[in-house]
Structure 1
Amino acid sequence: MSEAPARGARIGAGQTPLLVAAFVLLSLNLRIVFGGVGPLIPSLELSHTAATVLTTLPPLCMGLFAPIAAGLRGRLGDERSLFAALVVLVLGILLRSVGMFGLFAGTIVASIGVAVLNVITPVLVKKRFPPERIGVMMGVYAMMMGGGAAAIAALSVPIYRASGGSSAIALGVAVIPAVPALLAFATQLKFGPDKGQAVATKRWSGLLRNRTAWSVTGFFGLQSLMLYTIFAWLPTIYVAKDVDRATAGLYLSICVIAVSVGGFFGPSLAGRRADQRLPVLVTAALCFVGIAGVLLAPTGSAPVWAIVLGLGLGAGQGIPGVLYVARTEDRQTAAQLSSMSQTFGYVIAAAGPLLTAALFAASGSWTLPLVVLLALMVVNAVISLPAGRRGVID
């Protein structure tokens, strides 16, 4: 049975600017808190083990804490839950800037906030925007998410140097875009839980036995594994190919920019279709071709493969949001599918950088890790077909 929208919840002409502004600012902040850490790691004087833990914490925590979103929205409603998650995100950013303990503790706190934002944001889109705008809004979501990460990655080192080597300032600058997002979402606090609806009572039991739900989860998980692996190791891979560090970092920046582009166009195009199998296959194919280029092509053509790979990675982050909406009949099921997918998916993603590092250590070359990534994209193309097939989860 379809879930009737709460009275006044569907977007109207008078509330459009405030809602869209809040949504855009929220989306912008979903990866800014993490995007500036990687470039600063050489300056933070961390051991290899500590650096690995720090870069693994975000996807791991986003997976482990995703389930709390369902209970939170059942108590507070979607809009108030998102506001609360933004408060946690701001607190995490501030804590992360206070010493070495704060760096790790703040990363965990910020990741908890982002975990809730990740799960509920697609549900908000299903609730507050007309069906014909869902694909575009999820495209905006993924584009702003990637754009925020790209911007902070480019600015973190210059800010660190301009501040006289202050990691607190370089990391704390992420609070600047987070506060406007918090203030913008304060305008949506009038929307509470839907009356008479137990939005958080449905368990995962049904979804855990559903092939389509696992297909969506597999698609998101393998695409996220690829994303976090490339973000962690792409410059190192090119340095091993005798590319200087600055140029290798530039290749990653090009890839991140392409992630923003793919993040917009992937879900925008997928949202126009009742069947998303073609966009899903194209996404996996772009990642496969991009990785093959990194592995086999001359380093002079690296920007081309960075762009191809980035387009696939970006689409792979945005299209799952469309699938959460397209494969479900009501917001309750959409929230559960989003939570299930991200709980398992981010745990899978957290294993990516660790797996590739282990394969590199065992083989002494990046060839084996890249071949494994190619194989995973073939697997992804096969297991993700049910996720794109027209219809809704029973």
Structure 2
Amino acid sequence: MPVSPPPTANAAVTRDRTAPPHVPGAGVLLVVAFVLVSLNTRVSFGQIGPLAPVAGFSPAVISLLGLLPPLCMGAFAPLAAVARRRLGEERGLWWAGLVLVAGAVLRMLGMPGLITGTVVVSAATAVVNVLIPVLVRKRFPRERVGTMMGVYALSMGAGSALIAAVVVPVAQATGNWQPAIGLAVIPAALAAVGMTTQLRQQPPRPVGTSGTERSGRPHVARTAVAWSLTAFFGVQTLAFYTVLAWLSSILVQAGHGRGAAGTGQALLICGVAVGGFIAPVLAAKGPDQRPHILSTVLVCVAGLTGLMLAPSSTSMLWVIVLGLGLGAGQALPGVLYAHRGSDHAHVTALSTMAQTCGFLFAATGPVLAAALHTATGTWTAPLGALTAALLISAAAGMRAGHDPE
């Protein structure tokens, strides 16, 4: 696969898009490194759900471990801009990989280590989340941005699903949950090793400060496109984490057994992986992503409506539909950052703002859904509230879908 930066928009950003020296096999090494990082991005977060019944975690612990990732990914996302300015994208991702390894090891050290390590892993993942779209924009041709963001989303889902599938057998075979949690060390170490191949290809570091004025550009928080991106990403991420936390309970209340509810969770993850691959591939083909934003929201709304109103015999169909929409909603913002950003610093600033605010907002979703469920005794109210929020986000996200004439 050829590796070249996209054409420069103007002379002011020429240094920002300088290509690294050619190295034989560089394209293959870059793709391998990219896939290894992508596989690792959500591994640690997918272990707790299937492991909780076997490990005997209390509801309070499960709630805390579900709340920490989005909360910490929002709080630590601004670190990515600092890492990029001081280290560049490749070295920033490499250091984040090392921190992921440390956090994965720490999570094996009893309950205090599990909680502390989750914070560490979430902080490193926040940096990866922000830098991945910047790396894609810089290192791959513009026509392959959508494909690589799709590969990122598909690999992320595949890595999470694979580890989630083996944690229970490992815990049962060893009689302890620590070895099962320790499985996350393997993909974390592979990701760090993969990024090691990219350190020699580090281009000149960009000048300027992400989010500040550069070549007359206002601070990112003063622009409509940044707030539009934040609204779309925030609501999509809130819906994703809310459904991920409570889907099993929703299916059980609909009349399914716990085994079927577990199957539903697996189908959701599969749908997320497929939707996460398809959406960016389609969206990157043209300059206008507004139809893709609207389609993503409508697919999510169809899935939620089916879960609320359709017979329980069709629930699994609607779970798959919902997974496709939620996966698209998690992957599509990466294309939006790359297309709306005028240079690498601007892409970083847009990604940082959307993910900082979006993840912090998303952390409230599972808690608010639980409160609505407790107050009404049914999951219809939380699902209806999610549907309304998604429809609002479709309107709010339109500005993020195109460049003004």
**Residue pair 1:254, 1:306 contacting (<8 A) in 2 also:** yes
CA distance in structure 1 between the aligned counterparts of 2:340 and 2:398, rounded to whole angstroms: 13
**Residue pair 1:27, 1:142 contacting (<8 A) in 2 also:** yes
**Residue pair 1:78, 1:193 contacting (<8 A) in 2 also:** no
Matched, 1:387 2:397: no
Matched, 1:369 2:382: yes
SS at match of 1:114: helix
* TM-score using structure 1 length: 0.95
Number of residues of Structure 1 aligned to a counterpart in Structure 2: 391
Task: Report how far residue 242 of structure 1 moved.
Answer: 2.2
Residue of structure 2 equivalent to 1:69: 80
Task: Report how far residue 195 of structure 1 moved.
Answer: 4.5
Q: Give the gaps of 5 or more residues in structure 1.
A: none
CA distance in structure 1 between the aligned counterparts of 2:281 and 2:23, rounded to whole angstroms: 21
Residue of structure 2 equivalent to 1:301: 314
The change in CA–CA distance for 1:201 and 1:313 in structure 2 (over 3 A counts) is closer
Residue of structure 2 equivalent to 1:19: 30
Residue of structure 1 equivalent to 2:3: none
Letter in 1 for 2:241: Y
* TM-score using structure 2 length: 0.93
Residue of structure 1 equivalent to 2:274: 261
**Residue pair 2:21, 2:201 contacting (<8 A) in 1 also:** no
Residue of structure 2 equivalent to 1:197: 207
Matched, 1:173 2:186: no
CA distance in structure 2 between the aligned counterparts of 1:335 and 1:351, rounded to whole angstroms: 25
**Residue pair 1:32, 1:152 contacting (<8 A) in 2 also:** yes
Summarize deviations over 1:85-121 as a string: whole Å, max 9, x none: 0000111010011101001000000001100000001
SS at match of 1:264: helix
Summarize deviations over 1:58-107 as a string: whole Å, max 9, x none: 00000000001101111111100000000001110100111010010000
Residue of structure 1 equivalent to 2:171: 160
The change in CA–CA distance for 1:323 and 1:351 in structure 2 (over 3 A counts) is same
The change in CA–CA distance for 1:390 and 1:246 in structure 2 (over 3 A counts) is same
- Between 7-16 and 307-316, report the one with greater CA deviation: 7-16
The change in CA–CA distance for 1:226 and 1:253 in structure 2 (over 3 A counts) is same
- Give the % identical residues: 46
CA distance in structure 2 between the aligned counterparts of 1:20 and 1:196, rounded to whole angstroms: 23
Map 1:312-331 onto structure 2 (within 5 A): 312-331=325-344
**Residue pair 1:290, 1:305 contacting (<8 A) in 2 also:** yes
The change in CA–CA distance for 1:367 and 1:182 in structure 2 (over 3 A counts) is same
SS at match of 1:118: helix
SS at match of 1:190: helix
CA distance in structure 2 between the aligned counterparts of 1:347 and 1:205, rounded to whole angstroms: 24
Q: Which of residues 142, 151, 159 is equivalent to 1:131?
A: 142
CA distance in structure 2 between the aligned counterparts of 1:57 and 1:152, rounded to whole angstroms: 20
CA distance in structure 1 between the aligned counterparts of 2:169 and 2:398, rounded to whole angstroms: 44
Letter in 2 for 1:250: T
CA distance in structure 2 between the aligned counterparts of 1:40 and 1:282, rounded to whole angstroms: 34
Task: Report how far residue 8 of structure 1 moved.
Answer: 3.1
**Residue pair 1:11, 1:130 contacting (<8 A) in 2 also:** no
CA distance in structure 2 between the aligned counterparts of 1:96 and 1:239, rounded to whole angstroms: 30
**Residue pair 1:276, 1:390 contacting (<8 A) in 2 also:** no
The CA RMSD over aligned residues, in Å, is: 1.8
Q: Which of residues 201, 216, 223 is equivalent to 2:229?
A: 216
Task: Report how far residue 30 of structure 1 moved.
Answer: 0.6
**Residue pair 1:263, 1:311 contacting (<8 A) in 2 also:** yes
Map 1:80-95 onto structure 2 (within 5 A): 80-95=91-106
Summarize deviations over 1:215-238 as a string: whole Å, max 9, x none: 111111111111111110001111
Summarize deviations over 1:171-224 as a string: whole Å, max 9, x none: 110111221111111011124462562354737972212111111111111111
CA distance in structure 2 between the aligned counterparts of 1:215 and 1:94, rounded to whole angstroms: 38
CA distance in structure 1 between the aligned counterparts of 2:243 and 2:90, rounded to whole angstroms: 33
SS at match of 2:200: coil
Residue of structure 2 equivalent to 1:188: 198
Task: Report how far residue 50 of structure 1 moved.
Answer: 2.5
**Residue pair 1:294, 1:302 contacting (<8 A) in 2 also:** yes
Task: Report how far residue 309 of structure 1 moved.
Answer: 0.5
Task: Report how far residue 11 of structure 1 moved.
Answer: 7.9
Task: Report how far residue 13 of structure 1 moved.
Answer: 6.7
Matched, 1:356 2:366: no
Letter in 1 for 2:167: S
The change in CA–CA distance for 1:217 and 1:302 in structure 2 (over 3 A counts) is same
- Between 108-117 and 145-154, report the one with greater CA deviation: 145-154
Letter in 2 for 1:277: R
